[in-house]
A and B are shown apart, each in its own frame.
Chain A
Amino acid sequence: MPTGLPNGGGLPDMKDMTATILKRIGHSVITLFVISILIFAGVEALPGDLAESILGQSALPETVEAFRKELKLDLPPHVRYISWLGDFVQGEMGRSLSNHRPITELIGWRLSNTLFLAAAAAVVAVPLAIILGILAALYRNTFFDRIVSMVSLSAISFPEFFIAYILIALISVKLPLFPSISTLDDQMSLADKLYTIVLPCLTLTMVVLAHMMRQTRAAIINVLATPYIEMARLKGVSRLRVVVLHAFPNALSPVINVVALNMAYLVAGVVIVEVVFVYPGLGQLLVDSVSKRDLPVVQASGLIFASVYIGLNLLADLLSIASNPRLRNPR
Chain B
Amino acid sequence: MSSLIKFIQKAPWSAKIGIIILVINIAVAAFAPVISPYGETEITGDVWEEMSLTHPLGTDHLGRDLLSRLIYGARNTIALALMITFLSFSLGTLGGFLAATLGGWCDTLLSRTVDLVLSFPTLIFALMVLSVVGTSIFSLICVIAILDATRVFRLARAVAMDIAVMDFVEAGRLRGEKTGWIILREILPNALPPLVAEFGLRFCFVFLFIAGLSFLGLGIQPPTADWGSMVKENAGAITFGIFTPLWPAAAIAFITVGVNLIVDWFLNLASGLKE
Binding site for B on A (CB under 8 A): 31, 34-35, 39, 42-43, 45-46, 150, 153-154, 156-162, 165-166, 168-169, 173-174, 180, 264-265, 267-269, 271-272, 275-276, 286-287, 289-291, 293, 295, 298, 302, 305-306, 309-310, 313
Instruction: Using A153-B261, A157-B204 as known contacts, say yes or no to A290 and B131 having CB atoms under 8 A apart.
Output: yes
On whether A286 and B253 interact (CB within 8 A), knowing A153-B261, A173-B241, A295-B131, the answer reads no
Residues of chain B from 237 to 275 with CB closer than 8 A to chain A in the complex = 238-239, 241, 243, 245-246, 249-250, 252-253, 256-257, 259-261, 264
Chain A: which residue is nearest B257 at the CB level? A157
B109-127 interface (Cβ within 8 A of A): 115-116, 119-124, 127
Task: Indicate whether B128 reaches chain A with its CB closer than 8 angstroms.
Answer: yes
C-alpha gap A168/B128 in the complex (Å) = 29
Query: Complex: how many Å from CA A265 to CA B123?
Result: 10
- Of the residues B131, B216, B264, contact of A272 by C-beta under 8 Å: B216
Name the contact of B218 in the complex, choosing from A31, A162, A291 (C-beta under 8 A).
A291
Whether the Cβ atoms of A159 and B211 lie closer than 8 Å is: yes
In the complex, the answer to whether B120 meets A306 with C-beta atoms within 8 Å is: yes
Asked if A169 contacts B132 (CB within 8 A), the reply is no
Chain A residues whose CB sits within 8 angstroms of the CB of B212 once the complex forms: 159-161, 272
Q: Provide the residues of chain A in CB contact with B245, threshold 8 Å.
A: 165
Residues on B with beta carbons closer than 8 Å to the beta carbon of A265: 121
Complexed CA–CA distance, A35 and B212 (Å)? 24
The majority secondary structure among interface residues of chain A is helix
Q: Are B127 and A287 in contact (CB under 8 A)?
A: yes
> Does residue B97 face the partner (Cβ distance < 8 Å to A)?
no
Instruction: Output the least CB separation between A208 and chain B (Å).
Output: 14
Complex interface bits, B180-214 against A, C-beta within 8 A gives 1, otherwise 0: 00000000000000000000000010001001100
Query: Whose C-beta in chain A lies nearest to the C-beta of B234?
Result: A165
The answer on a CB contact under 8 Å between B239 and A290 is no
Are B252 and A298 interface neighbours, CB within 8 A?
no
The residues of A that contact B246 with a CB separation of less than 8 Å are 162, 165-166, 169
Q: A154-B257, A180-B239 are in contact. Are A268 and B128 (CB under 8 A)?
A: no
Given A43-B132, A159-B252, A161-B249, check contact A271 B123 (CB 8 Å): yes
* Interface flag for B80 (CB, 8 Å): no
Given contact pairs A271-B124, A291-B218, A306-B121, a sample of 4 additional A-B residue pairs in the complex whose CB atoms are under 8 Å apart: A159-B249, A169-B246, A268-B121, A289-B131
Tell yes or no: B28 within 8 A of A by CB: no
> How far is it, in angstroms, between the C-alpha of A162 and the C-alpha of B254 when the chains are bound?
11
- Neighbouring A residues of B218 by C-beta, 8 Å: 287, 290-291
What sequence of 0s and 1s flags, for each residue 4-32 of chain B, a beta carbon within 8 Å of any chain A beta carbon? 00000000001000000000000000000
**Could you tell me if A180 and B238 are in contact, using CB atoms closer than 8 angstroms?**
yes
- Contact between A46 and B132, CB atoms less than 8 A apart: yes
Measured CB to CB, the nearest residue on chain B to A47 is B133
